[in-house]
Structure 1
Amino acid sequence: MTYADLADLPGSKTEPDGSAVVRLLSYNVRSLRDDREALARVIRACAPDVLCVQEAPRFFRWRKYAAWLGRRTDLCYVTGGATASGPMILSSLRAHVEHTEDVLLPRTPGPHRRGLATAVLRFGSSARLAVVSCHLSLQAAERRAQAGLLLDRLPHAATPHAVVAGDLNERPDGRAFRRLAGALQDCGAVRPWGGAYTSTPDDPHQRIDAVLASEGVEVLGCGVPVGLPGVTGRDLRAATDHLPVLAALRVPAAAAA
């Protein structure tokens, strides 16, 4: 993939038929413990309409850090953070927020509790997208169960179109990843774009972060934005311990009643 090709990922727009091209970025930010300015530069260069965060700050003054991230990336807080035990959703002003819900998943003794940040966003007059930001368990059995609980929440009653984005803590051949990909489109496999591996920034060798979309959502491109104009290798290495996943998706307009 050449840098010129990377620049060709479709930009945000609403089509004459009411469908919407949405740019969505999924990023594990490691609680903003690394170079925050590098992180903000990467996010701004990706120009997302929707940012699905994992490992958002969730302890003391976490809302202050969520607000800082929004200010530095020209995005608005939608839902999640401490209330979802880590996952969070931000969006541009292009998105109209119709519904939000933070979901805490059943807790296994020992590891910290996991959760889901969920929202229904509308683009234009009728292109609705249910969004889930997730961070699955480090334990394989719990991870697979969480994948099932996540799928149980889709589709949302407000829309048949959905996207799940997050740190799955598992490669595509894992049971939880396969469970999700059996019900949803694995966007990075359907329309590869950019880089494939998300871990680690210093030595990318495994794909454990993903964007998955329901049938009916057209995948226009999905991958790690290595070499995207404005995204430098130095910033990617300094920002956090994961590489981000950027996807361009075409969301159909709702059918007329």
Structure 2
Amino acid sequence: MTVRAATYNVRGLRDSVPALRRVITAMRADVVCLQEAPRLLNWRARRRDLAAGCGLRVAAGRRRGGVAVLTGPRVRVLHAESHLLSVIAGLETRALAVAVVAVEGVRLAVGSLHLDLREAARIRHATEAMALMRRAAARFDAGMLLGGDFNEHPPQPTWRYLAAQLTDCYAAAPSGDGLTFTARRPRHRIDALFATRDLRVVSCGGVAAANADLTEASDHLPVLAELRVVP
């Protein structure tokens, strides 16, 4: 059985929402990890409307931190939780949204994370997020999938920390060049999906959507992975 999972920084819906809906719809994803989800005026309704317009629903995520998990029609949500990560003076509030889901009998703890521009904050928050993810996964005997905008490149410390414990999906089964930022001139791979090693990565890369939509929907490109799991 294959699960389609995606991660996407949607820049607070400040770009073309119709283009964004078309890109997310093109994913045909079972789970979508969002970063920079709306968190100001009417944030709940804006998240809900975006999800509904793509045939999805909001499974997890609160206002602060701007992270959320959306799920598709064949996904059953077993549990949802949101956590504020440790506050660091002068830096933006960071959070982790977690949805524990069942897809045709397979359980997954799916987390969405957006790390800081400062390296020390990134490693601190990644460590906290991994502990929270492990706790949720253990409680439900679930595999783990973490999607996010990590604001650093694969050779850097936080990326190495995550890749030592989880599979970097793109590195395992790359499709395309993997670059995600900026959408108009992609030169960096700072967005990624990481999965527990019991989930076999079939492919990971970009989304087959119109280039005009990809450049108008956000300043980031999404990452989509196909994962093969056994119930």
> SS of the counterpart of 1:210?
strand
1:65 aligns with 2:46: yes
Paired AA for residue 82 in structure 1: R
Paired AA for residue 74 in structure 1: G
The aligned residue for residue 85 of structure 2 is: 105
> SS of the counterpart of 2:174?
coil
The aligned residue for residue 228 of structure 2 is: 250
Contact 1:62 1:81 in 2 (8 A): no
Please list every run of at least 4 consecutive aligned residues from structure 1 whose deviation after the TM superposition is greater than 6 angstroms: none
> Cα deviations across residues 101-157 of structure 1 (Å, max 9, x unaligned)?
001001111122100000110011x21011000001111001011111122124322
Deviation at 1:193? Answer: 1.2
TM-score by length of 1: 0.86
The aligned residue for residue 175 of structure 2 is: 193
Question: 1:199-238 to 2 correspondence within 5 Å?
Answer: 199-225=181-207, 228=208, 231-238=209-216
Q: Distance in 2 between matches of 1:96 and 1:212?
A: 21
Q: Distance in 2 between matches of 1:114 and 1:219?
A: 28
Contact 2:115 2:150 in 1 (8 A): yes
Residues 192 and 221 of structure 1: CA distance in aligned 2, closer, same or farther (over 3 Å): same
The aligned residue for residue 116 of structure 1 is: 96
Deviation at 1:81? Answer: 3.9
> Cα deviations across residues 65-85 of structure 1 (Å, max 9, x unaligned)?
0111012101011010415x2
Superposed CA RMSD in Å reads 1.1
1:141 aligns with 2:120: yes
> SS of the counterpart of 1:31?
helix
Contact 1:129 1:251 in 2 (8 A): no
- Count of residue pairs the alignment pairs up: 228
Contact 2:111 2:133 in 1 (8 A): no
The aligned residue for residue 181 of structure 1 is: 163
Paired AA for residue 224 in structure 2: L
Deviation at 1:93? Answer: 1.7
1:80 aligns with 2:66: no
> Cα deviations across residues 2-57 of structure 1 (Å, max 9, x unaligned)?
xxxxxxxxxxxxxxxxxx31101110000000000001101111111111100000
The aligned residue for residue 240 of structure 1 is: 218
Q: Distance in 1 between matches of 2:192 and 2:27?
A: 16
> SS of the counterpart of 2:81?
strand
Moved more, 192-201 or 99-108: 192-201
Paired AA for residue 76 in structure 1: R
Deviation at 1:159? Answer: 2.3
> Cα deviations across residues 162-183 of structure 1 (Å, max 9, x unaligned)?
1000100000011111100110
Deviation at 1:213? Answer: 0.3
Q: Distance in 1 between matches of 2:166 and 2:70?
A: 22
Structure with bigger gyration radius: 1
Deviation at 1:251? Answer: 2.4
Q: Distance in 2 between matches of 1:29 and 1:46?
A: 14
Equivalent of residue 171 in structure 1, options 153, 176, 179: 153
Residues 95 and 247 of structure 1: CA distance in aligned 2, closer, same or farther (over 3 Å): same
Q: Distance in 1 between matches of 2:20 and 2:212?
A: 11
The aligned residue for residue 162 of structure 1 is: 144
Structure 2 portions without partners, runs of 5+: none
Structure 1 portions without partners, runs of 5+: 1-19
Q: Distance in 2 between matches of 1:62 and 1:138?
A: 24
Q: Distance in 1 between matches of 2:157 and 2:230?
A: 30
Q: Distance in 2 between matches of 1:202 and 1:81?
A: 29
